[in-house]
Amino acid sequence: MLKKITFLSILSLALLTASAAAQSNNDAKKLFNEGNALLKSGDFEGAVTKYDGALKLEKHEFYFYQKGLALKKGRKMDEALVAYQAAVTQNPKWAPGYVGLAGAQFSKGDYEAAVENYTNALKENPTLGPAKKGLSAAQTALGQQLLSQGETTKAATLCQQAIENNPKYDKAYVILAQAYNKDGKYKEAITAAENAIKYSKSPRKGAQYFELGLAHRNLGNTAKAKDAFQNAKKDPSYARNAAYELDMLK
């Protein structure tokens, strides 16, 4: 009889625990949804509080991810990184978690880490569009950083990889053109600059035309160089440099 009572007590405790867990999950989801509503309204601190409440009841990668998003929007980047890292730790196979982590790292200027985690996202989901675009942007930013340090070959390689991931990414073509011009690969620079012009959606294309002008000038194509510098001059950011190059070609 005692054994029967003990068994029933254990069974009752197990049922109660399961019921409490189910209720906890429901409560966590409720807090999560409330956090999403606050995030949408722009109350980032309130959203974080709700997500923290949900996480006390249930550890879930979605909750960590949304907390990271709220912190990022609230310009608390270090805390956002911790939240995104927790998301991928919670579920290392969840590609969006790596995208969130990489995006936060990109925002902090840690392009090398961003490249690594966008790559991790694509390992888990090779067709994930935001990961491909994010990787292209991170590779280009890292390439630009290396170019400023004189690492032209590495910069060009990164931009070529960026273009493979996003063939219409105009900024990658601009940095690639700059790297080629610095390396004396003027024909390649012309192709890259022309693609940068082709794919740019901005009305200001000073950088693109300026690199095109430099490449043509160095190949002795004076008329084409002048035409490119005239177009570069229309962009206020490049007007002075373009005017100088035009004066040199007189």
* CATH number where 176 lies: 1.25.40.10
198 located within any domain: yes
Give the residue ranges of the chain where pLDDT is below 50. Answer: 1-23
41 located within any domain: no
207 located within any domain: yes
The CA distance from 85 to 59, in Å, is: 13
234 located within any domain: yes
In this predicted structure, what is the pLDDT of residue 26? 85
Taking a C-beta distance cutoff of 8 angstroms, is the pair 51, 39 a contact? no
Question: How distant, in Å, are the alpha carbons of 131, 210, 238 from that of 243?
Answer: 40, 11, 8
Show the domain range for 224: 168-250
17 located within any domain: no
123 located within any domain: no
In this predicted structure, what is the pLDDT of residue 91? 95
Count of structural domains, the chain: 1
172 located within any domain: yes
In this predicted structure, what is the pLDDT of residue 218? 97
pLDDT tens, residue by residue, 192-218: 999 999 999 999 999 999 999 999 999
pTM of the model: 0.84
Taking a C-beta distance cutoff of 8 angstroms, is the pair 79, 71 a contact? yes
In this predicted structure, what is the pLDDT of residue 232? 97
In this predicted structure, what is the pLDDT of residue 197? 97
**Helix/strand/coil (H/E/C) assignment for every residue in 39-98:** HHHCCHHHHHHHHHHHHHHCCCHHHHHHHHHHHHHCCCHHHHHHHHHHHHHHCCCCHHHH
In this predicted structure, what is the pLDDT of residue 73? 94
47 located within any domain: no
